[in-house]
Chain A
Amino acid sequence: KQEVTQIPAALSVPEGENLVLNCSFTDSAIYNLQWFRQDPGKGLTSLLLIQSSQREQTSGRLNASLDKSSGRSTLYIAASQPGDSATYLCAVNYGGSQGNLIFGKGTKLSVKP
Chain B
Amino acid sequence: DAGVIQSPRHEVTEMGQEVTLRCKPISGHNSLFWYRQTMMRGLELLIYFNNNVPIDDSGMPEDRFSAKMPNASFSTLKIQPSEPRDSAVYFCASSPGRAGRGYEEEQYFGPGTRLTVT
Q: Do A and B bind each other?
A: no
Point out residues on B near A: beta carbons under 8 Å. none
Point out residues on A near B: beta carbons under 8 Å. none
